[in-house]
Amino acid sequence: MQPFNPPQRTLMGPGPSEVHQNVYQALSKPTIGHLDPEFLRLMNEVQVMLRAVFQTKNQLTIPVSGTGSAGMETLFVNFLEPGDKVVVCVNGVFGTRMADVAARCGATVVEVKAEWGTAINPADIEVALTQHPDTKLLAIVHAETSTGVLQPMDEVAELAKKHDVLLLLDAVTSLAGVPVELDQWGVDGCYSGTQKCLSCPPGLAPISVSDRGLQLIRNRTTKPQSWYLDLSMVANYWTVGNRAYHHTAPINMNYALHQALRLVLDEGLEARFKRHCENSEYLWQELEKLGLERFVDASIALPQLNVVKVPKGVDEAGVRARLLNEFGIEIGAGLGPMAGEIWRIGLMGESSRPSIIDQLIVALKQVL
């Protein structure tokens, strides 16, 4: 076998995103032990920075060892016990996955559905919570990566408070790209991934759990079905003071996340959100000149994941293949019922740059 040398790509798909050179440098630093005092110091700093990005004071705000889907599974297996009832909002692939994972936990799942490409209607959530007063948990995707929909959260958060249910939020694609305000919304559990708007390689899943959520976890009547993701034990490793070993942390990935978070906070959250919005507007300005149309209404469209209708008569997969093979640009295909119907163009983190947009537009003009 020869050494593997990956091709140079410009990452404009639904993830992973481009990675800053400083993050790569952090990833390549010497590995030390997961209980080394210097690594424990880094862990403390990672937690502080994650709280700032999640806009929360939650003490249990940590990166789980695994990608964003591990974050999803972590919260479901810790919050839910067999027989619990959960309302899951489904308007794309990742709401569907939430429902699947909840069912695997032995929960009774009530789905609130909306057409793909639209937001969940809070009135439908109200109906479900009223009809099922024994609901324990309301789960919703903030940024539906399969469709590019940004879910408005204010009304959803009020409904969770009104019906006194735990609120679980998927912020895999939204964190550090648009405002994620856990404390303001009263979110009890939230998970994300490093490879989207944080612009860090995939491998960690930042999560945050409220004090109420942590109390529920510690008062369970049954053990979580996953030992590896059992937060009652994982939390002890991340607690400042007498840390208890649970599993070996991915040391170098935590180096990378530490540096990525520094870059986010150095830029400033408001400036970062503004940059994502401005670059999305620029992208659409150029796409519309090519006659391309939005799949999602602009009022609920994600600026960091822009979804384009494939024009009639155009070879959807052929366009993506030429962009990749001839120009080194990766964009995403549609998933599920959207396969062959849309392209997903990511402007996440380091990928959200006018120069990268210009590369794409030049290539699309030739390919189309």
Q: What percent of the chain has pLDDT over 70?
A: 100
What phi, psi does 295 have (nearest 5°)? -90, -30
pLDDT, position 240? 77
pLDDT, one tens digit per residue, over 51-63 is 999 999 999 999 9
pLDDT, position 126? 98
Q: Report whether pLDDT(243) > 90.
A: no
What phi, psi does 8 have (nearest 5°)? -80, 120
Domains and CATH numbers, the chain: 10-15+269-367 (3.90.1150.10), 21-265 (3.40.640.10)
pLDDT, one tens digit per residue, over 141-185 is 999 999 999 999 999 999 999 999 999 999 999 999 999 999 999
pLDDT, position 362? 98
Strands 204-209 and 137-141: unpaired
pLDDT, one tens digit per residue, over 61-76 is 999 999 999 999 999 9
SS3 88: strand
Percent helix, strand, coil in the chain, to 5, is 45, 15, 40
pLDDT, position 239? 86
Indicate the pLDDT class of residue 242, thresholds 50, 70 and 90: confident
269-276: average pLDDT: 98
